[in-house]
Homo-oligomer: A and B are copies of this chain.
C-alpha cells in the first residue's frame, strides 16, 4: 500500500500539487495543533476545516462558563503585564481530512472516502456530542467539557451508556496519544454510578496513572461541572503502536 501512496504523491508532484518537502508520517488520533508535518495538498481538496472545539450557538451557559474557565488559563499575564502560555492548552478538534493527509497510507482513500469520525458524524449543532478538550502538560491531565445532545438517548431522558463510553474512549485516547504518541485502546473498565440527563453539561477528567513500556494507564472520572455528582469512573489501558500497526490496519 505504501508503494501506491508513493505513486499517488508522485502524480500530485508532477501536477505541481504537492510540496517537494512532503513527508508522510504515521499518525492516529493526534489533534490538529500537534501535527508537525503537513502534506501540502491543493486547496480545492481541502475546504477550510472547521474547528469543532470552538463555541457555536448551540452551546448553553454551562458549557460556555466551563470553556471560558479553561480558556482563560491557556494564556496568563505575568506581574510585569506580559502575556505568556498558561498551564492549560485547548486542543483543536481532530480533523479527518488532516488525518488522512498526514496518515499517508490512507491517502488513496482520502478523496473518495465517505468515512466520518464517530463523535462528529452529526452536523446539526447541539444535537449530539458538543465538546472541547484541554490538556495540562505539567500535571499530565486532560479535561473535556461535554454538552450531551438529544440524539444520544439511552434510558428515557438520559444519555446512552455507549455514548458515555464513546466520550471516555475519546478523551482518554487523546490524552494517551498526547503522552505516548500513537496508541490503540486495549481496555476500558467503566463503572457507571449515576445516569447523565440529556442536555446536561458534564466534565471528563483524565489523569495519567502510569506508563510501563508500551502501556499507558489512564484514569477518567465523569462528574457534574461542580464536581458534586459522580457519573462514571474508568480505568483505561492504551498500547503504543508503530507504523507497521498502521500499515497493517
Contact = CB atoms under 8 A, between A and B. Distances in A.
11 contacts: A29-B155, A106-B157, A113-B150, A115-B198, A121-B122, A165-B165, A184-B195, A187-B189, A188-B188, A189-B190, A195-B249
Interface in A89-128: 96, 99-100, 103, 105-106, 109, 113-119, 121-122, 128
Name the residue in A113, A161, A249 with the highest tally of chain B Cβ atoms < 10 Å from its Cβ. A161
A197 B249 contact: yes
Interface stretch (A46-54, A167-175, A213-221): A167-175
B189 A189 contact: yes
Interface residues of A, number: 54
A32 interface: no
B190 A161 contact: no
Nearest to A117: B153
Tell me how many chains of this kind the complex includes. Answer: 2
Given A117-B153, A121-B128, A161 B189 contact: no
Contacts of A117: 153-154, 160
Nearest to A96: B153
A23 to B, nearest CB: 18
Contacts of A103: 156
Contacts of A153: 96, 115-118
Interface in A138-175: 150-163, 165-170, 173
A118 B249 contact: no
Interface in A186-230: 186-192, 195, 197-198
Nearest to A166: B162
A185 interface: yes
B165 A114 contact: no
A172 to B, nearest CB: 10
B173 A161 contact: yes
Given A116-B151, A165-B165, 17 more contacts: A28-B156, A106-B157, A109-B156, A115-B153, A115-B157, A115-B198, A119-B160, A119-B162, A156-B246, A157-B249, A161-B169, A162-B163, A162-B169, A165-B166, A165-B188, A187-B189, A188-B190
A4 B209 CA distance: 48
Contact of A191 (B152, B155, B157, B187): B187
Nearest to A118: B160
